[in-house]
């Protein structure tokens, strides 16, 4: 003779059977596809400063030349790659007004940059530029 099934067992079994199809599909929404990384809002500023620094390289004295190469490397520019001071280069008179202008541009860039790391970098570069100008 079959064993009688309790009401509680019947309800539990029917609840499991009713929920089984739900386990096959998730009730949670599918996460959206990863959004593309936003463009660097400071890239135009970095490009402008890189162009200004590169323009100062020819004819710069040794200390200025080395400082500008370090600035280009810090900004991630490939314009500094492979550049070394050639014999005879870096001995001409440095255009101090252009160097002051670059210092001002670095300060303005530090104020207007949106990325905290770039703010610190540009402020540091501006301080170094001011030290070179003080020793000129």
Q: How far apart are CA 32 and CA 91, in angstroms?
A: 58
User: Which one has a higher pLDDT value, 20 or 60?
Assistant: 60
**What is the per-residue pLDDT for 48?**
95
Q: Are 67 and 128 in contact (CB under 8 A)?
A: yes
Q: How far apart are CA 20 and CA 77, in angstroms?
A: 59
Angle (nearest 5°) at CA 68 between 62 and 73: 130
Q: In the chain, what are the domain boundaries?
A: 43-135
Q: Dump pLDDT digits (tens) for 28-61.
A: 667 777 767 668 899 999 999 999 999 998 878 8
77, HSE (Cβ side, Cα atoms, 13 Å): 23
> What pTM, to 2 d.p., does this model score?
0.66
Tokens, residue 43 = 């890239």
Q: Dump pLDDT digits (tens) for 77-120.
A: 887 666 665 554 554 566 889 999 999 999 999 999 999 999 99
């Amino acid at each position: 003779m079959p064993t009688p099934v309790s009401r509680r067992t019947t309800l539990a079994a029917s609840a499991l059977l009713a929920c089984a199809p739900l386990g096959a599909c998730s009730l949670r929404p599918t996460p959206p596809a990863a959004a593309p990384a936003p463009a660097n809002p400071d890239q135009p500023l970095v490009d402008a400063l890189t162009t200004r620094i590169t323009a100062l390289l020819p004819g710069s004295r040794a200390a200025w030349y080395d400082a500008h190469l370090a600035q280009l490397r810090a900004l991630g520019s490939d314009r500094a790659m492979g550049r070394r001071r050639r014999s005879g280069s870096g001995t001409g008179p440095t255009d101090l007004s252009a160097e002051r202008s670059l210092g001002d541009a670095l300060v303005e860039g530090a104020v207007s940059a949106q990325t905290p790391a770039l703010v610190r970098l540009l402020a540091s570069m501006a301080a170094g530029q001011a030290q070179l100008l003080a020793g000129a």
